[in-house]
Amino acid sequence: MKKLFTITLLSLLLSGCTAAGNIQDLVQKEVLTSDAIKQLALNHAQLNQDDVVFDTVELDDDKENYNVVLSDDEKQVVYVIEAASGKIMNFETKPTEQKVVVEPEASKEDTKDVKNDTSKISRNTSSKTRLSQDEALNLALKHAGESRNNVKVKEIELDRDDGRLVYEIEFYSSNKEYDYEIDAHTGKILEMDFDIEGFDIPKSNGDIGMTKAKEIALSKVPGANHNHFTDIEKDYDDGRIEYEFEIIYNGYEYDIEIDGASGQITDFEKESIYD
């Protein structure tokens, strides 16, 4: 009887130890959020969030440490930060790799759109001068022909694309959605597109025809002519005639959709063929 009691007591003690161990494991797995880790890294690097790009913020397989990589124009900092406490276990600083980007000659449209802005703001990549968020937004608004008071800005984010710092900007005006990617140093518009949400034109049997649709498409690409069309389609979307064009001109690819009844451009995209 005494032996049975001893065995039972040992079993209970071992179970208790196992349970305690499980609880301890659960406690150990509680980690700081990625936002908290980012702020710790920013504080240590003495940098402002608007000036850096976080290339990596991830937990290791054991969920013990965060691996963090952040960079700005001048330096890149690599951190190993304890996930539970936020203690910086290790860090390394090195110069940011600068990628030389060969860009196409600016088209007349681009020069017209941004010459006033860039003449007032001397932008030189080698000097590492960078546009502010407001300056980048103003360039996008000017190109879109929209006023700051008439749009709702959804996102302005600094990011790195193939080693180049860019602003990704998204804003709305009425039922139009605009997306821009702008070089953070030069102000050059690298990509843009807009489309009309909830587009609804009263039903009509009219059709502006292919010739008129081509003229409308070319009017959005000053300097281009009929030889620059690389794709032409007449399609039907929910019974509505739609013309779709692709134009490659002066280093850019343009994708344009036009409503066949009204001639209104319903979607427009512009992207550098060098990216």
Given the structure tokens 């597109």, which residue do they identify? Answer: 193
Residue 162 pLDDT exceeds 60: yes
Q: Of 46-55, 64-73, 148-157, which gets the smallest average pLDDT? A: 46-55
Question: Above 60 in pLDDT, residue 120?
Answer: no
Higher pLDDT, 57 or 210: 210
Whether residue 127 has pLDDT greater than 50: no
For residue 43, what pLDDT is reported?
86
pLDDT at residue number 269: 93
Which DSSP letter does residue 107 get?
P
| Portion of the chain with pLDDT greater than 90, in percent | 26
pLDDT of residue 225: 94
Burial class from Cβ neighbours inside 10 Å (0-12, 13-18, 19+) for residue 239 reads: exposed
Which residue would you say has higher pLDDT here, 171 or 199? Answer: 171
| Helix, coil or strand: residue 273 | coil
| Residues carrying CATH 3.10.450.40, the chain | 34-95, 104-190, 199-275
Averaged pLDDT score across all residues of the chain: 78
| Burial class of 167 by CB neighbour count within 10 A (0 to 12, 13 to 18, 19+) | buried
* Domain 34-95 = CATH 3.10.450.40: yes
Q: Which of 53-62, 151-160, 216-225 has the highest mean pLDDT?
A: 216-225
Kindly state the average pLDDT of the residues 111-124. 42
Are the C-beta atoms of 29 and 63 separated by less than 8 Å? Answer: yes
121 pLDDT band, cuts 50/70/90, is: very low
pLDDT attached to residue 253: 94
199-275: what CATH class? alpha beta
Does 92 have pLDDT greater than 70? yes
pLDDT band at 211 (very low <50, low <70, confident <90, very high): very high
The mean pLDDT of 160-166, rounded to a whole number, is 83
The radius of gyration of the chain's CA atoms, rounded to the nearest angstrom, is 28
Average confidence (pLDDT) over 203-230 = 89
Q: Is residue 124's pLDDT more than 60?
A: no
- φ, ψ for residue 99, nearest 5 deg: -95, 130
pLDDT in tens, 172-188: 888 788 999 999 989 98
% of the chain beyond a pLDDT of 70:
73
**Answer CATH for 104-190 from 1.10.1060.10, 3.10.450.40, 3.40.50.300, 3.40.50.1970:** 3.10.450.40
Reduced to 3 states (helix: H, G, I; strand: E, B; else coil), residue 103 is coil
Q: Is the pLDDT of residue 28 over 90?
A: no
Residue 10, pLDDT above cutoff 80: no
Do 167 and 181 form a contact (C-beta atoms < 8 A)? Answer: yes
